[in-house]
Amino acid sequence: MSLIVQKYGGTSVGNPERITNVAKRLLETQRAGHSVVAVVSAMSGVTDSLIKLAREVSAKPTEREMDVLLSTGEQTTMALTAMAIQSMGGKAVSLTGAQAGIVTNGVHTKAKISNITPDQIRKHLDQGEIVIVAGFQGETSEGDITTLGRGGSDLTAIALASAVEADACQIFTDVDGVYTCDPRIVPTAKKIAEISYDEMLEMASSGSKVMQSRSVEFAKKFGVTFEVRSSFNNNPGTTVKEESAGMEQVVVRGVSVERNQAKVTVTNVPDKPGCAARLFTALADAHVMVDVIVQNVSASGSTDISFTMNRDELEKIGDLLDRVAAEIGAGKVSKQDGIAKLSVVGIGMRTHSGVAAKLFDALAKGGINIQMISTSEIKIAVIIEEAKIAEAAKLAHTAFGLDAA
Ligand code: ADP
Ligand code: ASP
Ligand code: MG
């Protein structure tokens, strides 16, 4: 008998009918002869509503209490799913993250899993029960509830699959798999049959939020092969796994889009050691996540430094950079929102040349101006005007031959 971990995301459990559908699927899987562990997300929109609710009672809720609050979303779903299975005559039990043995560090709202002791899960499986685990949550060794960052139920599923040594890990969502681009942006996007961990990781961390990037990192580290597929049909999905022979033949596997970015430029930064360090240390101390950084060639003893970040964090910066700029003798600080990042990703880039040229040419033909460029071994990313991002994604998608026939 094999052991399967299945994760159902927010849309898949978004209303009572959908929860009933998930319950049916879980029972079918069990009846086919498998032991089943299900990881469930909060019903769609619930986590966002809880965050909104918190803001209505407090301008700055503590992260500990945010975790206590947000963990309730998944707890609602797990109990409803277990009830639905029981009402169909099946055996099921729901477990919180803590009951499932998921221990994390104490970094509230983005905790890291430190270990998993799945004794309770095993005990219930041995009793023939379908075990429903609340995604996205764990507990510190001191007994405080923690959450694993947005989209964290993916991580719960992959980490549990590793801990219980599951034979298969399936991530059920509202699309048929991982596509060459978000099908909501590029309707001609195609489902990818197989993708390497590295490509999935680059896509997830550059805006393709079909998988939480931390969960892919975990899967890569512990060698958990998983499949992304739809909870609304039985179509085969996308297998995410170790790189295999032949995968490098595809130059660009997919295109990612990240909206909601902002660009900050500090002009006339003195061209001497320590200035960039001062600027970015101040940002790090303020817990601002910086993405693409570009420094101009120094012409007359000073240079301009630009970087991008999430637009929602602009507020956090306030006049911080103006103060640091004054201290180091730099010029003006300008902030611009309404920009976005487009990335093309593929391990084939390691062995093929001309990828950047092709991307830039496609954008040029569409009259799209590139503001910044950044590359990694398997990714080329450009910063452009946000209003043009969908058009840019379509152009890149076509240029790299990714459109469905
Ligand atoms: P869940 O609630 O099941 O975790 P998510 O909303 O987190 O689902 O992820 C699924 C969504 O991810 C899809 O509806 C799709 O719009 C979006 N998405 C972004 N990029 C991609 C991609 N490359 N392939 C498939 N879906 C993508
Ligand atoms: N409910 C959490 C979120 O919306 C976790 C998840 O769905 O994976 O981010
Ligand atoms: Mg998700």
Q: DSSP per residue over 124-156, as a string?
A: HHHTTPEEEEETTEEEETTS-EEE--TTTHHHH
pLDDT digits (tens, 9 = 90+) for 130-156: 999 999 999 999 999 999 999 999 999
Q: What are the residue ranges spanned by the domains of the chain?
A: 2-174
**What φ, ψ does residue 148 adopt, rounded to 5°?**
-105, 20
**CATH number 3.40.1160.10 given to 2-174:** yes
Please identify, by atom number, the ligand 1 atom nearest to the C-alpha of residue 171: 3
SS3 358: helix
Q: How far is the CA of 208 from the centre of ligand 1 (A)?
A: 7
pLDDT at residue 148 in the model: 98
CA atoms within 13 A on the CB side of 85: 26
pLDDT at residue 1 in the model: 76
pLDDT interval class at 223 (50, 70, 90): very high
pLDDT at residue 342 in the model: 98
Whether the predicted pLDDT of 240 surpasses 90 = yes
Whether the predicted pLDDT of 228 surpasses 90 = yes
pLDDT at residue 377 in the model: 95
pLDDT at residue 318 in the model: 85
**What φ, ψ does residue 203 adopt, rounded to 5°?**
-65, -45
Per-residue pLDDT, averaged over 13-22, amounts to: 98
Any atom of ligand 1 within 6 Å of the Cβ of 343: no
pLDDT interval class at 300 (50, 70, 90): confident
Structure tokens at 204: 């997830």
Q: How far is the CA of 175 from the centre of ligand 1 (A)?
A: 7
- CA separation for the pair 160, 219 (Å, rounded): 11
For 289, which DSSP code? P
The pTM of this model reads 0.95
pLDDT digits (tens, 9 = 90+) for 242-251: 999 889 999 9
pLDDT at residue 296 in the model: 87
Give me the percent of the chain exceeding a pLDDT of 90: 95
- CA separation for the pair 223, 360 (Å, rounded): 35
Per-residue pLDDT, averaged over 93-107, amounts to: 98
What is the average pLDDT score of the chain? 96
Any atom of ligand 1 within 6 Å of the Cβ of 90: no
Which of 44, 150, 175, 205 most suits a substitution to test ligand 1, by most atoms within 8 Å of the C-beta?
Answer: 175
- CA separation for the pair 324, 270 (Å, rounded): 12
- CA separation for the pair 111, 53 (Å, rounded): 22
Whether the predicted pLDDT of 297 surpasses 90 = no
pLDDT interval class at 78 (50, 70, 90): very high
pLDDT at residue 41 in the model: 98
Residue 373 CB: number of other CB atoms within 10 A? Answer: 14
Ligand with smallest separation from the Cα of 192: 1
Ligand with smallest separation from the Cα of 173: 1
Instruction: Label the pairing between strands 302-310 and 238-241.
Output: unpaired
Any atom of ligand 1 within 6 Å of the Cβ of 215: no
SS3 269: strand
Largest CA distance in the chain: 78
Return the residue matching tokens 């500990």: 64
pLDDT at residue 404 in the model: 87
Whether the predicted pLDDT of 316 surpasses 90 = no
**Following CA atoms 132, 134, 140, 146 in sequence, which dihedral angle do they give, to the nearest 10 degrees?**
180
- CA separation for the pair 346, 360 (Å, rounded): 16
Per-residue pLDDT, averaged over 169-191, amounts to: 98
Whether the predicted pLDDT of 395 surpasses 80 = yes
Residue 64 CB: number of other CB atoms within 10 A? Answer: 15
Any atom of ligand 2 within 6 Å of the Cβ of 259: no
Angle at 378 between CA 376 and CA 379, to 5 degrees: 65
Q: What's the N-to-C CA distance of the chain in angstroms?
A: 40
pLDDT at residue 326 in the model: 96
- CA separation for the pair 154, 159 (Å, rounded): 9
pLDDT interval class at 351 (50, 70, 90): very high
Whether the predicted pLDDT of 363 surpasses 80 = yes
pLDDT at residue 183 in the model: 97
